[in-house]
Each structure stands twice: as C-alpha cells, then as structure tokens.
Structure 1
Amino acid sequence: MFAGHISFHTPVTQDSSNHDAIIATLSPFADPANSGVAQFTNGFVVEQTHLPDGRETLPFVCSTTGIVVCFWGRIDNRDALLQKLAINTNPHDGAIVLEAYHKWGAKFAQNIQGDFAIAIYDPRENHLIFARDIFGTKPIYYARYDDNIFFANSIPTLRKLVPYRLQRSHEWMAKFILSPFAAMHHEKTAYEKVVKVAPGHVVVVNADQTIEKIDLRDWDDATTVATKRDPKYVTAHRNALEAAIASRIDNTHPMGVENSGGLDSTSIIALLAKQMTKPVGDGIVSFSRISASREEQCIQDMNALVGIQNAHMKSPTNDDPIDIITQDLAVLGFPACYGCEISLSLLATATQKFDVKTMFTGFGGDEVATNYGELISVEYIRRRDYRGLWQFIPGHFLKKPFRFVALILRHGRDKNQQTNIEADAQYENDTHLLDQDIVDQYDLKTTQRAEWFDVLNHHSINGEIVNGTLTQPFIDARMHDHTLFGNAYGIEYRWPLWDVRIVENYLRTPSIEKVGPKRVWRYLHRRAVDDIVPASIVWQNSKHMGQPIMTRDIRNAKTQYYNEMARALMDDLHPDLVALVNVKRLCHQMDSASKRMNGEVDEEDTFYWERVHNLYSLNLWCHQD
C-alpha cells in the first residue's frame, strides 16, 4: 500500500513522525514486512508491503530520472512483459512498471495483467499518474486542494494526510440509506472532494490542475456461434483456471481459502491443492461462515477430498453488529457497502494463528467464469436457431411444444422475470428508510428503477457480461472492501476468477458450451472441474444450500438487539441525518419486527436487520467524523 502528498509548485514541509503515523494507518492491525519513505522538495510518498517482493527500499525511485514508482499488487504476464521491454534480468515489479512507463507513457498499464494499484510521480513532467487494474481489485483515492494532491489506498490514510476536514457527501448518505448498492460508484465516494480512480483507468494529474482519464477496458462482446460442442473449449477453460491459480499461489506461507461449499469456492480449493508444492494439510486453511443447512456438509466433503486439516467455521448469528460496524469504520473510513464475507475475527485468526498471508476467494464465478448463461434462449431466438432452442428446453416431450412456443412469444425471457423485478423494485421503494423529499430531490426512484430493469436491455450472454456485469460498481466495491479488510491484518486477497485470461476465454467460447442440454447452467465450468470437485457439488444445478440456520430463539434475540439499536438511533440521530431519515417508517418497522417474534422466522426479519445495521453504521460514522 502507499500514500503521498505532492505540491506541484511549492515546497512541502517534511515531518518524519507524521510519515510514521501515516504508514501505521495503512494496515491498522498488522506490522508490514517492509516500509519506507521517499522525500523530495515538493512532496513525499510512503509505501509498505506484507509480502517480500525483492525491493530493498520502498518506494522505488529511479536514480537517473528521480521518477517515483509505488506498486501494490502482482504482475501475471511478467515473462511476456519482460520480453516486450527487452529486459534480460529479473527486476522487481516497480522497476518493470518504470520501464513500461518509459516505453508506453501514460497508457503503460494496458500492457500489464494482474491485480495492481500504481502511483507514479514524474518530476521531469511534474505530473502524477494513477493506474488500477481492469477489475479494480485495489483502490486508489485522491483529493485536490489548490496546488496540492493527496492520495492513498484507503480513506483513513487519506484523512491522516489531508490537513483539512473532509466534508461528507449528502447525496452519498442519501443513497446509502436507500440501499448500499445505490451508494456504490466507480469514482464518487462518501466524501465530497475525495475521488476514487475507476477500475481499468489511468488518471494523469497535471501541474496546471487539469486531469486526464484514460479507459483501458476493451472487452469484445461478440458471440461465437457453434451448433455442436467441442471438448477443446472445456480444456481451454481448465487451462485458464490453472494459469490463474498458478500466478497467485503462495508456497512460502499457509494460504487461506474462503470455503462456502459452493461450486466456485470448491473449484478454487481443488485447483490450489492440485498445484501446491507442499502437503495440503500444511498449506491450506479453510474459513467459512455457515448460514444454510447443507453448507457444512459440502465444506467438510471438499476439505476431506483434498486433505485440508485446519478448517474454521463460524455462524453469522454469533456476530455482534456494533463490533462489526466499529471495525468496518476503522478499516474503511466510511460505512461498508458490502462488508466482510467471512468476518474480521476469522481474518484475525488466519494471520495470528496460522501466519496466512494470502486469502483466496471464489467471487467472480457467477459474474463470468461460472455464469449461468440464462440469456441463451434469447440468443437462439434472435438468430432464429429454433433447432438449438428445441434441444435446450427441458421437460416431458408432450409439454415441450407448448414451452417452445411460449418461449418464442416471450422472446426467450423467463415468464416471471419482469414481474419479479417489478416486485423487488416496489419492495425497496416501500421499505427503505429515506425521507421521500430526499428521494425526489435526487430523483432516486427513477435511477433505481433503471438499474433494476437494466437486465432487460441485454440480448446475449456476452452482451450482459460486457455491457452489464463488468460495468457494475458492486464488483469494485466488494473487492475494495475485502482487499482493505485483509490488508488490515496483513493478508493479500486473491481473486483467481477475476483473471483476464479466464474472462477473455469465456467471452470467446460459443454459448452452446456454457449451457448444457435441458438447461444445465454453468455447463462449461462444471465439465472443466468434474474430475477434481465432488459430483454432489459439481452437478447441483442450483445455488440453494438448504434452509437458513435460524431458529425462532436466535431470530428473537437478534430482533431484540436490533430494536435496541433502532431506539438508540432515534435517541441520538446525528443532525446531518435528521432530514434524511424517515423516522416514522423506522418506528413502524420496529413494531412490525416485534410482532413477528411471535411467529415463524421470516425473510423480512433479515431485511429489517440490514436496514437498521446500515443506518446505525451511518450514524456512528457521522458522530465519529
């Protein structure tokens, strides 16, 4: 991680004690393996790392040009890049980035594959360059104040750098109350003057205060048409998976894995176990949060198959909401839009008990690598491939003609899709805790409806991925949150399913490979891992993992706790939130939750808890700020 302060035309006062304090904010709960400071007349940069990367001093400063390079991440196409740059030695990543910048200028990052956040200060041009990888695995924030640019990988560090009070964004808070997903954005943040570098972008900040933004993303959404399946595509998918794992594996420390017992996480575990150079029992530690009845058995089956001996399971029903909120704010510096998948306590266990330095996750499967391919029927109809559509339709042969005709009349769409979207959008509108005047002020109902119905604008599997999924800020937000949660404990998150090789290969693969006969979803990936993942997991054609683990007593205890949080909110609602929050609706929902305590466990209980949790987080943030 890194942070810095550049003043383009005036000297910057140096304070070594402040440098140390800034470095301490980069990883609040872990000591770095290496850290350092580069000081120059008009600024300074600090950097730290938890994984040794060959650099003796941080940050990397070119001895001839004075160019400063901060690199947080990993280069996956290292050999190809060295060849393009005609480098015969084996330099550290910072030196490679510098040579790429010399050769290609500001667009250097489009030649680098991997997970990275980069900052380059070039004193010759007197400009500052930021770059993030195409998926945005690692964040970069920056704020401009007159001639000064402050930048960091986290908001708490940026707040330590900036000598002014950061102003909270009224609009961001309104959107967060409506829904955390509404508050997610590639560039806008919880603070007015703080901007995030968008995924797959290079940002050039010039001395004349102009800012150039270069979009490096260039996906091809063209659909490859085939009428027969070919095993070569399954082999190509498996090869891409193995390459993604190979470039992320860490044989020097035990590796953590998020294990949900589902197809994505178990695939990662199986591929890791296959490529490790040390015994699995010593090299992989499994971490899980059990929330459904079948999860534990699937997790145990996978762990037994590959030989994982250290497995830690935690029930989310045991989490203290206020503890979670307090830790989230300490790490992120603003209310969490996504939160931590396995809990911060498990991350603490990973690093303190097992010396885990990397945590593997299966996130990214549903989005691309193991995409369900539900728009295949739309593709068939749009290209009038009715023979292909016929083979795809499941069910009894006497009913099949009726389903066939009905699907054509619906243009390939699920009969309940629009109705379900309408119901979900209306439910959000009826239950959010945002005052209606604020909804109207920012026209949030229109914005949210457009986002809800965006899925209907796509007509192919690849089109939905490239023009829908890959443009969504929830991907950036989830990886941002987990990257910073992990780093707080000295752990690097690894996202093997968010690998350019996997995504590009999936987009090149014909749609017929992605969905099996009679609607066997995720067909390409299932065949690719069939030999290394238990059949009970590979061929389960639904993500449903059984009933939620939630007894009436547990539900009642949680509802009572959240009711107490709601009362505390109403007694001490921050002045900035008074005009935003629909207190009357909050009181009504609290009363309804109390009445449900006499009945069966209801899905609405969870939604109520989430709304109170988010509002409490927002209120605590405002009071702390």
Structure 2
Amino acid sequence: MCGIAGLYFFNDFARTKPNGLSDALLSLHWRGPDSRGTFASGNACLGHTRLSIIDTSAAAAQPFSDASQRYTLVFNGEIYNFRQLREKLKQKQVNFRSESDTEVLLHWLIDKGPEGINDLQGFFAFALYDKKEDTLLLARDRLGIKPLYYHRNSDKLLFASEMKGMMAMQIPKVIDCASLSVYLHLNYIPGPWTIFEGVYKLLPGYYMQVSRKGIESVQYYKIEAGPTTVSPPSDYDAAKQMLRTKLADSVIKRLVADVPLGAFLSGGIDSSIITALAAKEVKGLNTFSIGFRDEPMFDETHYARAVAKMHQTNHTEFKLSTDDLLGCVFDVMDYTDEPFADSSALAVYILSKETRKKVTVALSGDGADELFAGYNKHLAEWKVRHPSLAAKALKQLQPLLARLPQSRNNLLLNKIRQFNRFGSGMRQPAAERYWQWAGFTTNEQGNKLLLKQTEEAELNQRKSRWLKEISENGPIGEILLTDMQLVLPYDMLTKIDMMSMANSLEVRVPFLDHDLVNFVFSLPDAFKIDGRQRKKILRDAFREDLPAELYNRNKQGFEVPLLRWFRRELRSLIEDDLLSEEFVIHQQIFNYPEIKQLLTQLFSRNPGDAPARIWALLVFQYWWKKNLI
C-alpha cells in the first residue's frame, strides 16, 4: 500500500510558487515507509510513498514512467488481475522492465484510456499524467476502499491520499458548517464533502479528467440492485453454490503478495469464512485476533480459537485491557486528519499495530454486513415493514420509553435505548428512519450545539443525495444499497484504511470484489434476511466450513467503555481543556450552554447517547486544536 499526492497547474505563474509536495509526502510516510519519489514535468507534479507488496525491487518504484517518458503514474492499491492484463499487453508487443502491477496498470491505461478502468480487478486510487496532451487522470476504485482527496482553485488542482497531504500543500482551512453538522449526527463525514470548504473526496466508482480546459468527472461504476446486470440463479441452493464459488475466487485473488500475509480473525461469521477459504490455499495461514480482558461479554477469542483449530492456522491472540485501549486514544486522534469518531477505530488500530509485527498484508471480513443485511438496523427495518403485535406495541409505547433511563453501558438500559430508537423509527418515513438510525442526534440537537446554524436547505440537499435510493415501500435492498454508498466507504472503509495505514499494514477485503457485489445485489432480499436471521445465505452457504458454536449465538459488537473513561480517566480533558467553558467560548464554534447540558446528561443516571456525542465533540476539538490553532 502507498500514499500519493500531486498538483496540476492551470497557468504558468502557478508553477513558480512553492507547492508543498515534499511536505505532503512526509505527512504520508506511514502509508509508504519503504521509499519516496517525485516527478515534475509540464504542468504536473506527482509524488509517491511506497509500501512494497508486489515486486519489492527498485524497478517498481514510483512515480513510474513509460519508456517514452510521455506517461507517468502514481498509484495506491493493488490490481489483482495484473498478470492476465500483462499477458494481453505482451500480445501487443508491450515490453516490461518490472514484475509490478504498477507497470501493467500504466500500460493498460495507455492502451485503453479511461475505459480501461472497467477491466481492473482490485482497489486503487491513482493519478496518470500525459505530458504530450497535458492531461491528468485521477481515479478511485469502485467501492471506495482507497481514499483520494482533491481541491481546485483558479491556479491549480491538488490531490492526496489523506487530508494530511492536502493540509501540507496549504489548502484553505475553512470549516464547512454543513459537514460539521452532519459529523455531529453520524460521527463521520460522507463524501463528496469534507470538513473543509472546497476540499472534496473523489467519489467511489468515479474518475476525473483534468486539463487546462477544465475538469470532467465521470461515473464508471454503480451498483445495480436487482437482476438488471447479473442473471440470478434459479433457486436458493444454486445461489449458495454460486456464492461459495465467487467468494472463494475473490479470496484467492487477494492472496497474491511478495511479502508475509495473514488474516484478521475476530470469531465472527465474516472473518471466519474468509479465514476458512484462505486456509485452504495457504498452509499455516497466519491469523490474528484481539480479546478484551476486562470485558468478557465482548471477548470472542474462544470462537476465533475454534476456527483456527478447525483450519489449522498459525493463530496469534492479543489480549487487551481497557487501559490498553485508553493508551492508544491519543495515537488514534493524532493520526485522524479529518474528524472521525467511530470509537471502534481504537480496537482496529491496536489489531493493525500488533498484526504488522508479523505480516505486511491482512485479509478482513469487512463489507459482509452491508452486503448481506447483518446489522441490527436491518432486522429492525424488516420488522417495521412486517410488524408483529410486539412491534406495534413498541410504537405505541415509545413516548413512555423515551422517558426511561438509557445507556449503552448497561444491558437493561441499552435494551430500553434500542426499543426507544425502534419505536421512534417506526413513526418516521423510510428515509428519515434510516437517517435517525444511522446517527446519534436529531437535527435539532445537532444544530443547538452550533453557534452558526447550518442552512436547512443545504443539509436537506445533501441528505437527499445520500438517501436517494430509499423509497417508502421499496425492498430492503434499497437500505443495503444506501449502506454501500454511505456507511461502507465513509465509516467502515475509512476506519480500516486510516488505522491500518497508521501502522503500514495493507488490508484487503474479499467481500468487496465487484463481481461478488454485483452478484449479491442480484439476489432476492429473502435470501439475505427473513425476520429471524440476518446474512441468511452467507451463513447457510458456509455452514460446513465453520464450528457449530459460531451459529448458536447472537451477533456481538464491542462497546468501547467511553462512559467510564469520561467519568474517570478523561474527565479532566473534558472539563479542564477541550470542552471547558474558556476553550469553547474562545473557539467560537459551539454553544457552551448546550455542551454544559450534554455534560450534565453524561454524568447523570440516564446518559443515553451522550457518551457517543461527547466522543464526537472531543475528537473534533482535539483535531481543531492540533490543526487550526
């Protein structure tokens, strides 16, 4: 895995100014600690930091130019079918000087142009400069596994793998108020917007052509729900077999590497299936899991051990205490270059850090929940659309439930919290229900926290764009499609990319092979969820490959003990520093009386979702203090 950054100049004067590219590459060091390179010619400057995975020799170093020096490429990612593409290029008398997928990608794009992106199997963000035509091609993979940021002004276009790189190239640092409002609701910022005005995320499945004439964005891939592009199998058993074949093929593609490789193994269904398939191809596969010493109800290492034993993997466990998690809080916040408050990033950071001590590449089970309806909210949505007497009763009782104590850190109070959210959601239209269940606040609560109110029209425009797939009486597949376009790229994949790259670890996600994704979205909803079982076809297809005990339990999630930390170890950080009255009033972003009220709720017997909301505020404040003072 790597980091890329660069500039394209729209006029000759802009080329004479300092551009900050060297500083950008320094900021991306952890993405590519093995080497660093730059290119400057014509109206483009390109930079690259390298984490060597395929062809680790200097012959594959980037920026990579063809023999004529007309084309130059910087590339972050992996092309899994590069050997097949290489053979096709050889038939056209293309000569190669390395064994890398980078060189294959370069020549494939030279031969096919932007349309050649459709032939790529893998994950990527890249920039290709054509010196003769003076054009720059930027592209991002179909599902947003690899990030790419950009900013344009009258003089130039800047791009980088991370916001750190953008800030190093001196972008304007003006807070986007609508993005901040959305962040306070979701705990992350969906694209194409970012925390800064005028800085954007290139959307998954898009490429951008840049020249002195202007910029053109083109969508080259979109998930199609239903049997529109893929002919679904005739029955459930045939679908199970096809799923097994396609997922096995996806795993095999992702085992190509010239460095040590392993797999995350949490003990859940998703990572266990990936491990089972990979272990058939790699004898003594390295697998890694983390357990929680102080939170036995969240510790799934015994399930991971059962899978490791069944498939004879070389298994490593990392047993953590809550103090271990607390100890990495500031490391995680230091690496986060845009406000991002999914607290499970702490566990992913430690898992990546420990895994990197033994391997350079790890397979992950991410993406299965979004594909196969694996979240509680998916089952809740099914029950809203097929209401039982109990569900109808919860809808009627919701106003009463809203008055009862609620907390994520207590089993009974968390159940009350969940029932209240479900009952409240039943009262909403489908799109509003999705938005409510995706977040931690109401729009009113979020706006009250801000001194400068966000224009409602702007927020509604963004929400409409993100929720456009959801109709009132449509299939559950619309919810899954929205998750694939919202939650997956901007929460789950952002978390995986940031925390793995912070530790120079490449993570590959077999569930997100685009051929597999297209197939799964061609299947009927009933194959995935039926009111009793989530991820139905995935569980059934691989039942013989996993220990029986994995199936006889509920889905487990880990809750970071935020409430305990805020009441004890992090209390002074809240009250004396980042959320103190002096700091907040001087900052002139937040409404301190509302923060004070939220803190009162946090320290009460009925904290509700206050810990998650305070965490989002703390992460933002830490980021703001580090980057904008």
**Which category describes the TM-score, using the shorter chain as reference length?**
0.7 to 0.9
Shift in alpha-carbon separation, 1:259–1:44, aligned structure 2, 3 A: same
Secondary structure at the residue paired with 2:78? strand
Q: Does 1:533 align with 2:546?
A: yes
Displacement after TM superposition at 1:133 (Å): 0.7
Q: Deviations over 1:149-207 (max 9, x none)?
A: 22211111222233x553332332233234424xx222111122322211100011121
Q: Quote the residue 2:402 is aligned against.
A: none
Secondary structure at the residue paired with 2:484? helix
Q: Quote the residue 1:364 is aligned against.
A: 367
Shift in alpha-carbon separation, 1:288–1:6, aligned structure 2, 3 A: farther
| Alpha-carbon separation, structure 2, partners of 1:250 and 1:52 | 9
Displacement after TM superposition at 1:622 (Å): 2.2
Counting only pairs closer than 5 Å after superposition, residues 416-495 of structure 1 correspond to structure 2 as 418-419=426-427, 421=433, 428-429=442-443, 432=446, 434-435=448-449, 438-439=452-453, 441-442=455-456, 457=472, 459-466=474-481, 468-472=482-486, 474-495=488-509
Match of 2:117 among 109, 120, 125: 109
Q: Quote the residue 1:75 is aligned against.
A: 79
Shift in alpha-carbon separation, 1:442–1:531, aligned structure 2, 3 A: same
Displacement after TM superposition at 1:47 (Å): 1.2
Q: Is the 8 A contact 1:37 1:46 kept in 2?
A: yes
Q: Does 1:212 align with 2:216?
A: yes
Match of 1:173 among 151, 170, 180: 180
Q: Deviations over 1:474-503 (max 9, x none)?
A: 523431332132123211121111111221
Shift in alpha-carbon separation, 1:591–1:484, aligned structure 2, 3 A: closer
Q: Quote the residue 2:165 is aligned against.
A: 157
Counterpart code for 2:124:
F
Shift in alpha-carbon separation, 1:13–1:487, aligned structure 2, 3 A: farther
Match of 1:591 among 600, 608, 624: 600
Aligned residues between the structures: 573
Displacement after TM superposition at 1:6 (Å): 2.7
Q: Deviations over 1:560-584 (max 9, x none)?
A: 3444333222244356853x42322
Q: Does 1:344 align with 2:388?
A: no
Q: Is the 8 A contact 1:577 1:619 kept in 2?
A: no
Secondary structure at the residue paired with 1:342? helix
Counterpart code for 2:179:
W
Q: Quote the residue 2:308 is aligned against.
A: 303
Shift in alpha-carbon separation, 1:576–1:337, aligned structure 2, 3 A: farther
Secondary structure at the residue paired with 2:568? helix
Q: Quote the residue 1:386 is aligned against.
A: none
Q: Quote the residue 1:100 is aligned against.
A: 108
Displacement after TM superposition at 1:372 (Å): 7.6
Counterpart code for 2:539:
R
Q: Does 1:543 align with 2:558?
A: no
Displacement after TM superposition at 1:94 (Å): 2.6
Shift in alpha-carbon separation, 1:350–1:521, aligned structure 2, 3 A: closer
Q: Is the 8 A contact 1:260 1:289 kept in 2?
A: no
| Alpha-carbon separation, structure 1, partners of 2:291 and 2:366 | 14
Counting only pairs closer than 5 Å after superposition, residues 396-435 of structure 1 correspond to structure 2 as 418-419=426-427, 421=433, 428-429=442-443, 432=446, 434-435=448-449
Counting only pairs closer than 5 Å after superposition, residues 238-257 of structure 1 correspond to structure 2 as 238-249=244-255, 252-257=258-263
Q: Quote the residue 2:518 is aligned against.
A: 504
Q: Is the 8 A contact 1:5 1:44 kept in 2?
A: yes
Q: Is the 8 A contact 2:21 2:168 kept in 1?
A: no
Aligned residues with identical type, % of pairs: 18
Displacement after TM superposition at 1:131 (Å): 0.4
Q: Is the 8 A contact 2:5 2:46 kept in 1?
A: yes
| Alpha-carbon separation, structure 2, partners of 1:347 and 1:485 | 7
Moved more, 172-181 or 366-375: 366-375
Secondary structure at the residue paired with 2:580? helix
Secondary structure at the residue paired with 2:267? coil
Counting only pairs closer than 5 Å after superposition, residues 179-198 of structure 1 correspond to structure 2 as 179-181=186-188, 184-198=189-203
Displacement after TM superposition at 1:271 (Å): 1.9
Q: Does 1:23 align with 2:31?
A: no
| Alpha-carbon separation, structure 1, partners of 2:569 and 2:177 | 28
Displacement after TM superposition at 1:343 (Å): 4.1
Counterpart code for 2:243:
H
Q: Deviations over 1:388-445 (max 9, x none)?
A: x9xxx99xxxx9xx9xxxxxxxxxxx99862484986896357547437745634588
Match of 2:4 among 2, 5, 13: 2
| Alpha-carbon separation, structure 2, partners of 1:61 and 1:426 | 48
Q: Does 1:34 align with 2:35?
A: yes
Secondary structure at the residue paired with 1:271? helix
Match of 1:619 among 609, 616, 621: 621
Q: Quote the residue 2:281 is aligned against.
A: 275
Q: Is the 8 A contact 1:254 1:284 kept in 2?
A: no
Secondary structure at the residue paired with 2:510? coil
Shift in alpha-carbon separation, 1:328–1:523, aligned structure 2, 3 A: same
Displacement after TM superposition at 1:549 (Å): 9.0
Q: Deviations over 1:82-139 (max 9, x none)?
A: 4665457775323322333233323331221211111011112212111011101111
Q: Is the 8 A contact 1:435 1:581 kept in 2?
A: yes
Q: Quote the residue 1:236 is aligned against.
A: 242
Moved more, 265-274 or 339-348: 339-348
Shift in alpha-carbon separation, 1:87–1:190, aligned structure 2, 3 A: farther
| Alpha-carbon separation, structure 1, partners of 2:287 and 2:167 | 36
Shift in alpha-carbon separation, 1:419–1:67, aligned structure 2, 3 A: same
Shift in alpha-carbon separation, 1:447–1:570, aligned structure 2, 3 A: farther
| Alpha-carbon separation, structure 1, partners of 2:315 and 2:469 | 44
Shift in alpha-carbon separation, 1:14–1:286, aligned structure 2, 3 A: farther
Q: Quote the residue 1:331 is aligned against.
A: 335
| Alpha-carbon separation, structure 2, partners of 1:549 and 1:37 | 41
Uncovered stretches (5+) of structure 2, i.e. residues with no partner: 393-421
Q: Does 1:53 align with 2:54?
A: yes
Q: Is the 8 A contact 1:302 1:534 kept in 2?
A: yes
| Alpha-carbon separation, structure 1, partners of 2:366 and 2:81 | 22
Counterpart code for 1:160:
A
Shift in alpha-carbon separation, 1:328–1:68, aligned structure 2, 3 A: same
Q: Quote the residue 1:405 is aligned against.
A: none
Counterpart code for 1:180:
N
Displacement after TM superposition at 1:357 (Å): 0.9
| Alpha-carbon separation, structure 1, partners of 2:581 and 2:113 | 56
Secondary structure at the residue paired with 1:309? strand
Secondary structure at the residue paired with 1:107? helix
Shift in alpha-carbon separation, 1:32–1:169, aligned structure 2, 3 A: same
Counterpart code for 1:238:
R
Secondary structure at the residue paired with 1:585? helix
Secondary structure at the residue paired with 1:23? helix
How does the TM-score come out when normalised to structure 2? 0.78
Shift in alpha-carbon separation, 1:465–1:608, aligned structure 2, 3 A: closer
